[in-house]
Amino acid sequence: MKPNKKQTCRSDLIQRILMLEIEPGSVLDETELSSEYELSRTPLREVFQRLAGEGYLTLEENRGAKVSSMDFTSMRNFFQTAPMIYAAVARLATENASNRQIDKLKNAQLNFRLAGTHGNANEMVMNNHAFHECIGEMAANPYLTPSLNRLLIDHTRMSQFFYRPSNDDERALVIKASDQHDQMIAAIENRQPAVIVELTLEHWALSRDSIERFVRPDPLPVDGDFEFQEEDRHAV
């Protein structure tokens, strides 16, 4: 069935937000988007309301729709919460996953590996997002799954560095992440909750340093460097 304009607008905005084509904190221009997606204001606002409910946008009275920010508070909450949510969701996935859901997870992983083979970072990012969404669907927990989906929005936005490795060590980490996906699938198939919890925490730790570089790309100078800069400035 051909998707309607609202569905196209929603899916396209999700991808643009996740790929940072629309930056965190940006205010969306209703007039521009109405024209781009050939939607009147009412259905466009319905799309905004749905995306806000899913965590992609925030709606502010008299200010319209804004892409969810990634400020200090949200990032602090993210790093505190992510490993706990991921581990709990993964454990439930091993208990509740259906064969159909496992097949869907395997397909997401196949697409992820193919994207890596072709060096397509954008596709890797989106297929990794789909992979972890599948695990959330398996968990089928009305409290945890929404939290996971909200975490994945920021995790995906921050994973851009990880899937664009610049040296052999970083490329090896991407390969290891893909291998861990396969191991997670096996743990779900074999109903091994303790195994998948351990794998999930290892998987989180693997990309954590790269994610932190997204948040803090340039380290602050150490005291010695600062003193040198101060002396150099006074000497000029």
Domains of the chain: 5-67 (1.10.10.10), 72-215 (1.20.120.530)
Q: What percent of the chain has pLDDT over 70?
A: 88
pTM of the full structure:
0.85
Q: What average pLDDT score do residues 153-162 get?
A: 91
80-111 confidence digits (pLDDT tens): 999 999 999 999 999 999 999 999 999 999 99
Q: What percent of the chain has pLDDT over 90?
A: 75
For residues 201 and 86, what is the distance between their CA atoms, to the nearest angstrom? 8
For residues 218 and 216, what is the distance between their CA atoms, to the nearest angstrom? 6
Average pLDDT, the chain: 89
Alpha helices in the chain (DSSP H): 5-18, 30-37, 41-54, 72-96, 99-117, 121-139, 144-158, 168-189, 193-215, 223-235
What are the tokens at 175? 């390969």
Answer yes or no: are the C-beta atoms of 161 and 153 closer than 8 Å.
no
* Residue 60: partners with Cβ closer than 8 Å, 6 or more residues away: 66
What pLDDT was estimated at residue 224?
46
CB atoms within 10 A of CB 168: 8
Tokens 């209703």 — which residue?
A: 30
- Distances from the Cα of 67 to the Cαs of 10, 34, 60, 64, 100, in angstroms? 13, 17, 11, 10, 34
What pLDDT was estimated at residue 216?
60
What pLDDT was estimated at residue 20?
94
178-226 confidence digits (pLDDT tens): 999 999 999 999 999 999 999 999 999 988 877 776 566 554 444 444 4
